[in-house]
Amino acid sequence: MNSQTRNVNLGGTYTPTGTSLTFKRIGYGAIHLSGPIAWGPPKDREAVTAVVREAVRCGVNHIDTSDYYGPHVANRILKEALYPYPTNLAIVTKVGARRGADKSWPKALSRQELIDAVHDNLRNLSLDALDIVNLRLGGQFGPDDSSVEAPLSVLAELKQQGLVRHIGLSNISHAQFNEGSKITEIVCVQNHYNLAHRNDDGLIDDLAAKQIAFVPFFPLGGFRPLNSPVLDSVAHSVGATTRQVALAWLLQRSPNILLIAGTSSVEHLHQNFHAADLKLPAEAIAQLDGIAAATP
């Protein structure tokens, strides 16, 4: 790997409370290092390896991954591309699900499944400890009302053992965050959030007051890509792509929001980075804020 880094604007930095980790606000999501719907190998292994190396060369210092991407594929490519890892690089992974032979995503929240998942991540990434492990709960379409106590207590034990440094929660409700924060320190929340899907506005503000990071997944719409004439109009008015506007809006929404937009293209990677250079005027923000209200 070329160790020469470039000075790229990645939206400033953010340090979650309870950590010594200072994150660039734009990171990288590793889901596209595996094949379609995070199953099997990528179409072009050499190309995706180049993307992740370029991300780090440009200054990205946190990567979101999971050993169930592939399964095992994304983590092994990260190791191949980056090991030995730069000292300032935080690798954030997820547990709480597994991949079925039919490409499904069944929950994996038993004690043994969580322990095995942490060890799978450690082994395939060649790490002695994981910087942050997000416990993913809920269902395919959002949080449920289940208690977080049992699975989160397992991760808290692994943290005491030194295998996990910090713990986050993913796909959770505000009530589940409140429950979880009484069990162990939570440094980040990773939930579905974007211009059109804003159920977590209140949670984001609460986390910001507590200096806890919020990491939106599906920042560009996910399985239903953002599609709005308002977004098109704003993008045209500021001379940017709709993708860049959607990411810039997130960066301006709250200082505790960190981005992990993934891509298998170096060109798209750089386009994502340019979102940090885009300062949306107040009138554009007001127009974009109306998208959520108009979304069924």
Q: What is the CA radius of gyration of the chain?
A: 18
Is 97 part of any domain? Answer: yes
The two tokens of residue 76 are 């092994």
Q: Are 189 and 169 in contact (CB under 8 A)?
A: yes
Is 69 annotated as catalytic?
yes
Is 11 part of any domain? Answer: no
The two tokens of residue 247 are 């990411």
pLDDT digit string (tens) for 189-244? Answer: 999 999 999 999 999 999 999 999 999 999 998 777 899 999 999 999 999 999 99
Q: What is the pLDDT of the chain when averaged over all its residues?
A: 95
pLDDT digit string (tens) for 18-37? Answer: 999 999 999 999 999 999 99
Is 12 part of any domain? Answer: no
Range of the domain at 227: 18-294
Confidence of residue 295 (pLDDT cuts 50, 70, 90): low
Confidence of residue 6 (pLDDT cuts 50, 70, 90): confident
Task: Give the Å distances, CA to CA, from 196 to 25, 253, 258, 278.
Answer: 21, 13, 18, 20
- 294 pLDDT exceeds 90? no
Q: Which of 14, 28, 68, 69 is catalytic?
A: 69
Task: Give the Å distances, CA to CA, from 98 to 24, 91, 107, 248, 284.
Answer: 29, 19, 6, 32, 41
Number of domains in the chain: 1
Is 201 part of any domain? Answer: yes
Confidence of residue 255 (pLDDT cuts 50, 70, 90): very high
Is 3 part of any domain? Answer: no
Q: Are 43 and 73 in contact (CB under 8 A)?
A: no
pLDDT digit string (tens) for 75-108? Answer: 999 999 999 999 999 999 999 999 999 999 999 9
- 4 pLDDT exceeds 80? no
Q: What is the structure's pLDDT at 273? A: 97
Q: What is the structure's pLDDT at 3? A: 53
pTM, entire model: 0.96
Other Cβ atoms closer than 10 A to 197: 20
Mean pLDDT (whole number) for 118-128:
98
pLDDT digit string (tens) for 164-197? Answer: 999 999 999 999 999 999 999 999 999 999 999 9
**CATH number of domain containing 150:** 3.20.20.100
- 2 pLDDT exceeds 60? no
Is 153 part of any domain? Answer: yes
Is 226 part of any domain? Answer: yes
Is 54 part of any domain? Answer: yes
Cβ neighbours for 208, distance < 8 A, ≥ 6 positions apart: 214, 254, 255, 256
Q: Is the dihedral of CA 37, 40, 44, 50 positive or negative?
A: positive
